[in-house]
Amino acid sequence: MSASPSIAIAGGGIIGVSTAWRLAQRGFRVAVFDQGNMGGEASWAGAGMLALGGEIDEPSELARLAVESRRLYPAFIRELVETSGLAIDFQELGAIDLAYSAAELAALESRAAGQATMGIDSKPVLPAQVASFWPRVRTEGLLGARFYPGDGLVNPREVVVALCAVCRKLGVRFLQNCAVESVSDGGADVQITSADGVATFRAAVVAAGAWSGAIVVNPVPVPASFPVKGHLLGYQQPSQTCNTIIRHGHTYLMQRTNGFLIAGASVEHAGFDRHIDSQIAAQLAMAAGFVMPHLLETTPTETWVGFRPASEKLRLGRWQSSNVYLAYGHYRNGILLAPVTAERLAEEISADLGIG
């Protein structure tokens, strides 16, 4: 009996590891290479909102994938928890968008009308209802709000830990601190050159987040990728301080079950600069404190940064009829898009290689 095809995955963030899981379930032999630790980059930094309401404005391929991935999430988490035996903080609690000016309210209403055509539901909320259900939220100057029942959140760090556990059970090999330098497509297979040497696989997936475009792929180079830096703040707060995700303009607040409240986020084109900028952190704290005034009297216990993986568009699928598949450019929504990305890729690779 011939061995099942082997797949190399360059990048062990939520995208690479969820794809490894789905491929291993279909019988592929999978190796995941990461230049650092599995899940140590954007998938560690990301807030973990599963927020169609906050992210999707108009119909597009990405919007359709996001809607599909949100639908897959409960079963994805259930299966992961059952097969790993590990807990994952996954909360389907909805989100509220706040408007403190007529222009903000008009923008919320017009966005909601467009979203309704894509199946993203929301309903108006009166300031008096905000005051009674969200008692910590500023109501002074509040003109209106919208509630999105379908928005939720997950702890992406726990998702990656659970994914690694279920992958190990299926024999997935993890190579940490092992950067992929190049991927050469030879027609029948691919050669991966990494810190571990040169190895041959049937196919490769480039899932290296913001670094994907820097991997040398022969003979046809893959499209560019670039980082969009984001700062986030964390506060230790009593549980139920945020009983839903709370948004105002570019500011969001959300709380993990353990009380850790996250406020974000900046959007910076600063390359791979890991420096924490105290001025940006102070601006985020002011914006969070505008929405929840009691936070102005509290100092964040953590500030961190991460690199959203951007590309001109989402890169998902086979690259130029080669044995190389792309899975990057998920930008602000890679946590949300992980289930659909993994399923789509595993399906496509299985169909191409005639397995599963």
**Binders in 41-60 for ligand FAD, by CB under 6 A:** 41-43, 45-49
Q: Which stretch binds ligand FAD (CB under 6 A): 29-37, 239-247, 285-293, 313-321?
A: 29-37
Closest contact distance (angstroms) between CB of 56 and ligand FAD is 12
Q: Is 234 in the site for ligand FAD (CB under 6 A)?
A: no
Closest contact distance (angstroms) between CB of 194 and ligand FAD is 7
The correct pick among 7, 8, 15, 159 for binding ligand FAD (CB under 6 A) is 15
The correct pick among 6, 7, 16, 292 for binding ligand FAD (CB under 6 A) is 16
Our CB check for ligand FAD shows the closer of 43 and 184 to be 43
Burial class from Cβ neighbours inside 10 Å (0-12, 13-18, 19+) for residue 343 reads middle
Closest contact distance (angstroms) between CB of 226 and ligand FAD is 12
**Binders in 118-157 for ligand FAD, by CB under 6 A:** none
Edge-first strand listing for the sheet containing 152-154 = 49-50, 152-154, 90-91
Q: Is 339 in the site for ligand FAD (CB under 6 A)?
A: no
Q: Which stretch binds ligand FAD (CB under 6 A): 86-94, 196-204, 210-218, 346-354?
A: 210-218
Q: Is 300 in the site for ligand FAD (CB under 6 A)?
A: no
Q: Which stretch binds ligand FAD (CB under 6 A): 36-44, 73-81, 292-300, 311-319?
A: 36-44
Strands 95-99, 144-148: pairing kind:
antiparallel
Q: Which stretch binds ligand FAD (CB under 6 A): 23-31, 70-78, 196-204, 303-311?
A: 303-311
Q: Is 336 in the site for ligand FAD (CB under 6 A)?
A: yes
Closest contact distance (angstroms) between CB of 315 and ligand FAD is 10
Instruction: Give the span between the Cα atoms of 227 and 250, in whole angstroms.
Output: 19
Are the CB atoms for 336 and 308 separated by under 8 Å? no
Q: Is 281 in the site for ligand FAD (CB under 6 A)?
A: no
Are the CB atoms for 164 and 38 separated by under 8 Å? yes
DSSP bridge pairs for 147? 96, 123
Q: Is 40 in the site for ligand FAD (CB under 6 A)?
A: yes
Helices (H), 85-213: 102-116, 127-133, 156-169
Instruction: Give the span between the Cα atoms of 48 and 325, in whole angstroms.
Output: 25
Strands 29-33, 173-175: pairing kind:
parallel
Q: Is 208 in the site for ligand FAD (CB under 6 A)?
A: yes
Our CB check for ligand FAD shows the closer of 5 and 306 to be 306
Closest contact distance (angstroms) between CB of 128 and ligand FAD is 29
The vertex-98 CA angle with 297 and 95, nearest 5°, equals: 95
> Distance of CA 57 to CAs 67, 180, 309, 355, Å?
12, 36, 20, 37
Provide long-range contacts, Cβ within 8 A and 24+ apart, for 102-109. Answer: 102/143, 104/143, 104/249, 105/143, 105/144, 108/144, 108/145, 108/146, 109/146
Q: Is 11 in the site for ligand FAD (CB under 6 A)?
A: yes
- Hey, is 192 helix, strand or coil? strand
Q: Which residues bind ligand FAD (CB under 6 A)?
A: 10-16, 33-36, 40-43, 45-49, 179-180, 207-211, 215, 230, 232, 264-265, 306-309, 328, 330-336
